[in-house]
Structure 1
Amino acid sequence: MGGPGGAGEAALAEECALALSYNGLAHAVMMVTPEDLEDFVVGFSLSSGLVASADDLYDIRLGGAGEARQAEIEIASRAFWALKQQRRQLAGTSGCGLCGVEALDQALPPLPVQPAVPLPPAAHLADLRPRIAEAQRLARHSGAVHAALYVDGTGALRLCREDIGRHNALDKLVGALARQRLAARDGFAVVTSRCSLELIHKALRAGLGTLVSLSAPTALSVDWARRHGLNLIHLPHHSAPRVYSPAPAREDRHP
């Protein structure tokens, strides 16, 4: 063991615990890859519905080192009030048998239907897989990480964010888009991971118009994408892109 090419010399993905507190109130501890943490904090706050826009985030202070990190976030008073109300409601119902109802509301939240945007040109998808592989710096070095990327309206791959968690990778991308003031709906996002319902929620809250996945989506993800105006495309390894949302038009049948 540990010889040339052995496991003892293999590079491994980094991981740390990141504790997030909003206006001094502890909210969550997330296991993340310790890169682009400010992007993650912004994206997590937006895609989780904790703030309505990046303008509600007043300050982010990162601290700690190694495996234990902290993020102290100052948010607008209206956003903090809503956060406290949500936490108080969950705590108040946990002893009366209604906590399951609240959990369902969080798992299947009401989200607005967004205006449709055109599907991306086929040329922007043609060589996407090798371009993604080239952009994934951490994956080339250590593997075991997911990526979320942004392709702009010209087809240029503008952003790549990586993390051990697929949700975290998309949060980092959402945060980077917000911090760099890029128009999310002018291009599209790509995720290298399985496309679950939670990723659809995050994409909708972030205002993305199109989400491309390298793995097939779940049936519920497709249903939610169609109902809420999100373009959803699967990019298989060896076949043409599959557009799941909007729903394919049915051909008229004549006798």
Structure 2
Amino acid sequence: MCDLCCSPAPGLSRRGLFSGMVALAGAAALPRQAFAQAAPPQNAISPDEVLKRLMEGNARYAANTPTNQDYSAGRAARASAQYPVAAILSCADSRVSPELAFDQGPGDLFVVRLAGNFVNDDGLASLEYAVKYLNTPLVMVLGHSGCGAIDATIKVVRDKATLPGHLQEMVRELRPAVAAAKAGKPDDLLAAAIAENIRRGKRRLETAKPILAEFVASRKIKVVGAHYELASGKITLL
């Protein structure tokens, strides 16, 4: 055998050849995912897509055919990050559960709850966090039928009732919606005031500077108002 056949190529030693083979074998052993681009987070979708997903989920809930039953699925993965598709300002009423009403699982919704679902600075800050830092594309104000907080405010406005403790602060926040609804002389003042409160909350969030208003103007998010019917479980958009 000639020296040319037995000699390594110029610049390539036996040690270098061995090292290259080891590197190649190591690369082959890596999982395919290491070379794939990371999947986008689940909330990297449009506000309209999110709204469609929520309303379809509510239809399943109202029909008693929910798909979310295994709440342990994905628990370990959620421990490191969250990607909620919607931020919801909801009433604290124990009969209203946005995750169930929209048939969504843990980590899907960023929910702020307080009696009367009105917008105050604390709740606004939470919603700003969801939009600014969690990239949540949809914000919803979710009111419901038979709201006790608004009914109590009606009694204060119309009947001069007094409420104890910090409940007076709640009434102060809800009074403008009740007064506006009352001025329209509706047949059902409670229903009208509930709807007016939802619309007012929606408008305030749409114009809340500096964060939400900017995101709305750039069409990065959408703010919607919705009404949950306790008896049927159905949600309608206002």
TM-score with structure 1 setting the length: 0.24
TM-score with structure 2 setting the length: 0.26
Larger proportion of strand: 1
Looking at CA atoms only, which structure, 1 or 2, has the larger radius of gyration? Answer: 2
